[in-house]
């Protein structure tokens, strides 16, 4: 009887996720064309790129922006966040001074994460260009030539105050092929784009590698400062914009590419661990609930399907099948075969381990470690540190 109840619960859960969770899995099947027709009044846009020790990638990112086919006024600001590897020099060779400005961030104040401080510094310097919109992007994102016009057209068509593309991540190494499609799948499950685009729902999310935000909407929420300590800065910004009455849009773009590689399982694990416990608001109770939730949702179906008698095995196998069906579009988007779909529970187990590691790192005072900075630690320790 307990196994039958557990199997029935996980089957009901996957029926809900497949049919009533904003059809999040269908985002991977869309070929979302930009709004038709040229921009009648192209807005003035300034791109802000925070960069800390990004010399291997920043030149390609800047060059892709400098090559934009955009009919309006556009400028790029790279904020060198105390780099020691020649990031500023690498950025300068990628574009001419009339298109690119490189500035150096002031020392990081207490209470700010490094990226958000660099963004704030870039936004402060952007004022002299009188932008209508700011493109907040990363030093490892390569944009197709029409990306800027596409983003601006979507913002105008909504109208939207924030438009964000989820960049296509690298998926080449065995670790990336095993875990990257699952990463995007889990993100869209947590933040269904259809719910994000719906102004009647509170769900808000964005992908930090490519965010076009209206300057007036950013000013309305008080700029970057209200979210200055957020590690999950993209979703924090989207949440603030939506709560203020703004409209937001999130979608995939196959041609907007992240060139940052995570070739090993350890590197992907550290990437997840950096923000996972922050997502749980540093709550041990939410961590326990997450362990139970991931176990019931992803791990229980294959285990019960294999070891339990009928009818529990049949219900669990059906739940496993629904899980695989919902995951297949993400695999297809990343050019993976259908045979990897039933292996989603293994990816979920890896992400669960990274989440537990994130909590332990936080409790040990080493949370949110990124490029030599510990950005997430218990409040008392952060006050004393």
Domains of the chain: 2-23+266-377 (no CATH), 25-263 (3.90.550.10)
Question: Tokens at residue 92, please?
Answer: 């300068």
Instruction: Report d(CA 326, CA 309) in Å as an integer.
Output: 26
Confidence at residue 275, expressed as pLDDT on a 0 to 100 scale: 86
Enumerate residues 6+ apart whose C-beta is below 8 A from 209: 137, 138, 140, 141, 165, 166, 167, 256, 258
Maximum pairwise Cα distance, the chain = 72
> Phi first, then psi: what are they for 222, rounded to 5°?
90, 20
Task: State the 10-residue block means of pLDDT for the chain, 385 residues long.
Answer: 89 96 94 71 96 95 96 96 93 95 94 92 96 97 95 93 96 96 97 96 95 97 93 94 97 94 94 88 93 95 93 96 98 95 97 94 74 56 38
Instruction: Report d(CA 311, CA 334) in Å as an integer.
Output: 35
Question: Which pTM does this prediction carry?
Answer: 0.92
Instruction: Report d(CA 59, CA 308) in Å as an integer.
Output: 56
- In the block, which residue shows the tokens 């935000």? 213
Question: Tokens at residue 358, please?
Answer: 């994130």
Confidence at residue 381, expressed as pLDDT on a 0 to 100 scale: 41
Measured between its terminal Cα atoms, the distance across the chain in Å is 53
Question: Tokens at residue 26, please?
Answer: 């269908």
Give how far Cα 58 sits from Cα of 63, 86, 138, 192, Å. Answer: 8, 10, 8, 30
Instruction: Report d(CA 77, CA 62) in Å as an integer.
Output: 9
Enumerate residues 6+ apart whose C-beta is below 8 A from 60: 94, 142, 259
Confidence at residue 375, expressed as pLDDT on a 0 to 100 scale: 60
Instruction: Report d(CA 371, CA 114) in Å as an integer.
Output: 10
44 secondary structure, DSSP code: P
């Amino acid at each position: 009887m307990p196994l039958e109840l557990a199997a029935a619960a996980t089957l009901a859960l996957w029926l809900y996720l497949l049919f009533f969770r904003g059809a999040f899995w269908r985002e991977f099947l869309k070929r979302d064309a930009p709004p038709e027709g040229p921009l009648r009044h192209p807005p003035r846009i300034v791109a802000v790129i925070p960069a800390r020790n990004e010399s291997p990638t920043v030149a390609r990112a800047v060059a892709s922006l400098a090559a934009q086919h955009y009919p309006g006024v556009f400028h790029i600001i790279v904020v060198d966040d105390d780099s020691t590897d020649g990031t500023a020099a690498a950025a300068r060779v990628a574009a001419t001074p009339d298109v690119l400005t490189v500035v150096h961030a002031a020392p990081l104040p207490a209470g700010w994460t490094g990226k958000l401080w660099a963004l704030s510094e870039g936004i402060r310097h952007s004022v002299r260009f009188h932008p209508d919109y700011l493109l907040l992007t990363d030093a490892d994102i390569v944009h197709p030539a029409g990306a800027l016009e596409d983003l601006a057209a979507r913002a105008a068509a909504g109208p939207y105050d924030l438009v964000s593309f989820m960049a296509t991540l690298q998926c080449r190494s065995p670790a990336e092929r095993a875990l990257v499609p699952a990463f995007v799948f889990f993100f869209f499950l947590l933040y269904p784009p259809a719910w994000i685009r719906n102004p009647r729902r509170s769900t808000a999310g964005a992908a930090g590698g490519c965010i076009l935000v209206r300057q007036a909407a950013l000013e309305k929420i008080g700029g970057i400062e209200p979210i200055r300590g957020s590690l999950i800065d993209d979703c924090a910004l989207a949440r603030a914009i939506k709560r203020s009455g703004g409209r937001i849009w999130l979608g995939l773009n196959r041609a907007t590419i992240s060139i940052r590689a995570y070739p090993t399982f350890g590197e992907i694990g550290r990437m997840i661990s950096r923000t996972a416990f922050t997502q749980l608001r540093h709550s041990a109770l939410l961590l326990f609930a997450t362990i139970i939730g991931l176990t019931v949702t992803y791990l229980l179906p294959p285990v019960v399907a294999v070891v339990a008698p009928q009818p529990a095995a049949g219900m669990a196998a059906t739940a496993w099948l629904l899980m695989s069906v919902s995951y297949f579009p993400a695999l297809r988007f990343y050019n993976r075969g259908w045979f990897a779909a039933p292996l989603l529970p293994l990816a979920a187990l890896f992400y669960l381990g990274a989440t537990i590691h994130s909590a332990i790192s936080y409790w040990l005072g080493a949370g949110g470690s990124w490029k030599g900075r510990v950005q997430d630690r218990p409040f008392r320790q952060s006050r004393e540190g």
